[in-house]
Amino acid sequence: MSVDLSLAHLIWQASPVVKLVMLILVGASIASWAVIFHKRRQLRAAAEGAEQFEERFWSGGNVAELYAQSNRTDEFSGGLERIFRAGFREFSRMRKQQVSPEAVVEASQRAMRVALTREADELEAQLPFLATVGSTSPYIGLFGTVWGIMNSFQALGHMQQATLATVAPGIAEALIATAIGLFAAIPAVIAYNRYANRAERLISRYEVFMEEFTSILQRNTQSIVASDERSAG
């Protein structure tokens, strides 16, 4: 007697619990691939935006003019540009008040730190989902496999004579759950490790720019103070 061991037939003949496990894993796989493609586009755009803005920033132009230009192109700005804009906006606001140069720089640095936190949250968003899919999918698939094999052995207990043809379909359909679990987990783990590393490098790049821009603002305020002292003298 021939036994149909095709993939579609095995999935169709699986028990309701195993089918539910397979459905959960397929849904998790589809969702993780959607996150993978989204994060790929997002991180690539963030890296390209940082590269383009740093070229403009270090080209030797006036910082105030760069800020004005950045405000006009707000819709297309990247994370690094938004951090710069937050810092310079606060710097310009505090300069109009009667406060010390140190307070001006500190306020600008706090504004950039807040903007950095927002950008970091955006870069790292949905990465925990990939980590969850990668870590739990094999166990969910294993649960489906164990359940399917258990049902197969229970069915064998009611048979007078057990052969490989009677055992194979039940075990095969149970093992499909583990295979689907691995299919969902492996891309999610690879993508998580890759994208978490890229997000961390971008955040470090943002932090380095913040320190450099803070130094520029400090020199700017010091030169203003020195100029005011010469004028008063």
Least confident residue range of 100-104, 167-171, 193-197 = 167-171
pLDDT of the residue at 186: 95
Q: Which residue has the tokens 């008040």?
A: 97
pLDDT of the residue at 209: 93
pLDDT tens by residue, 39-84: 999 999 999 999 999 988 888 778 888 888 887 765 557 889 999 9
Q: Which residue has the tokens 């586009």?
A: 41
pLDDT tens by residue, 108-161: 999 999 999 999 999 999 999 999 999 999 999 988 888 877 777 766 666 656
pLDDT of the residue at 94: 86
Nearest to 135 by CA among 185, 182, 175, 176: 185
pLDDT of the residue at 12: 64
pLDDT tens by residue, 171-191: 777 788 888 999 999 999 999
The residue ranking higher by pLDDT, 230 or 99, is 99
pLDDT of the residue at 195: 96
**Interval 19-33 mean pLDDT:** 92
CB under 8 Å to 201, separation ≥6 — which residues? none
The residue ranking higher by pLDDT, 224 or 64, is 64
Report the alpha-carbon distance of residue 58 to residue 52 in Å, rounded.
10
Question: Can you spell out the DSSP letters for the chain?
Answer: ------HHHHHHHS-HHHHHHHHHHHHHHHHHHHHHHHHHHHHHHHHHHHHHHHHHHTTT--HHHHHHHHHHTGGG--HHHHHHHHHHHHHHHHHTSS--HHHHHHHHHHHHHHHHHHHHHHHHTTHHHHHHHHHHHHHHHHHHHHHHHHHHHHHHTT-SS--HHHHHHHHHHHHHHHHHHHHHHHHHHHHHHHHHHHHHHHHHHHHHHHHHHHHHHHHHHHHHHHHHHHHH-
Burial class (CB in 10 A: 0-12, 13-18, 19+), 159: exposed
pLDDT at residue 221 tops 50: yes
Report the alpha-carbon distance of residue 84 to residue 86 in Å, rounded.
6
